[in-house]
Homo-oligomer: A and B are copies of this chain.
Amino acid sequence: MLAQLIALDWGTTSLRAYRLGPNAGVLDQRSLASGIMQLPKAPRVIAGQLCADGFELAFDEACGDWLDAQPGLPVIACGMVGSAQGWREAAYCDTPANVANLGTSLQTVRSLRGVDVHIVPGVIQRSRLPNVMRGEETQVLGVLQNLPAGAGDNLLIGLPGSHSKWVEVVEGCITHFDTFMTGELFAVLSEHSILGRTQQRGAAFDCAAFDRGVKVASSADGEIGPLSTLFSSRSLGLTGELSAKQQPDYLSGLLIGHELAALATVRRHHSAKLASIVLIGNAQLCTRYQRALAICGFPHVALAEQATERGLWQLAVAAGLIGKTAPVQPD
């Protein structure tokens, strides 16, 4: 089947490429380790020229053969590829941001083979403590398209990760979001702090240890905040109440629990009722957040699928790169 769009989700450490048919149907997909911080280096001939540019090399690996087979195919990309360290910087769009204003703000870089790559800008919220996202805006738009009617009322979209984002959407617009450095903090504490020294990593997920961490963070014991409760991962080990194997998942639960407890606190300023949640992201991490959200009393949690490719599709339509209706298929 002929494709209509090549969609790239190009982050810091990975590059996912999708060959999309009518209505964002995935015809083919690939995952490469060529994120913008680990681009390929070995020079190679591309479009008749010897090339050593990492972005060109990664782009060619990701979808060169798809473009050879179907040269006129439009290409759209989101994520850190549009950052100052990316292939071409796509300046942030301000909140409120929606499909229309993001779709008409794509930045273009012409690749060696003559194909334009259309890069989605990130979103900036110029609050007293500013917030930025790159890539997550596309996933959020991909989710919105598939929401049941009325689901947007008191809805929060959560994107767990190194830097988790929690996004409020009003009538299709990204109006407000917060960032939590939970995932990165877990990684640096486990690898570089005293807490890592007594951890035994690599065991299967210990849901009891994880839940215990969440409960500490969201209970009265957690009021003293994560800077203090963190130490309990060590001190409970010293008293024999937490084994080396349990410590990683306890710490993970503690940090995610503090993230959700803080989110609940600030959201309660806006609404007495806790929001309905849609989670986007890595399945294992979403499982952890689902458990933690249930413990913290969030009543409705759903998981989104194929958010990135659907978001990129929507933006390509808004940008006029493809028609809204499916063209007649040649075979």
Q: Which residues of A contact B (CB under 8 A)?
A: 124, 126, 128-132, 163, 178-182, 184-185, 188-189, 191-194, 216, 221, 223-232, 235-236, 238-239, 241, 255, 258-259, 261-263, 265-266
Contacts and interface: CB of A to CB of B under 8 A. Distances in A.
A132 B216 CA distance: 18
B130 A236 contact: yes
A173 to B, nearest CB: 20
Contacts of A189: 185, 188
Nearest to A255: B227
Interface of chain A, helix or strand or loop or mixed? helix
A93 to B, nearest CB: 14
Nearest to A197: B85
A240 to B, nearest CB: 10
A184 B68 CA distance: 53
B255 A178 contact: no
A189 to B, nearest CB: 7
A248 to B, nearest CB: 16
A266 B224 contact: yes
A224 B178 contact: yes
Contacts of A192: 188, 191-192
B225 A258 contact: yes
A54 to B, nearest CB: 19
A181 B262 contact: no
Identify which of A124, A182, A224 gathers the most chain B CB atoms within 10 Å of its CB. A224
Contacts of A188: 188-189, 192-193
A263 B227 CA distance: 11
Given A188-B189, A188-B193, A225-B225, A129 B236 contact: yes
B236 A181 contact: no
29 contacts: A124-B239, A126-B239, A129-B221, A129-B229, A129-B231, A129-B232, A129-B236, A130-B232, A130-B235, A130-B236, A130-B238, A130-B241, A132-B235, A132-B238, A163-B231, A178-B228, A179-B235, A180-B227, A180-B228, A180-B231, A181-B193, A188-B193, A224-B263, A225-B225, A225-B258, A225-B262, A226-B227, A227-B255, A228-B259
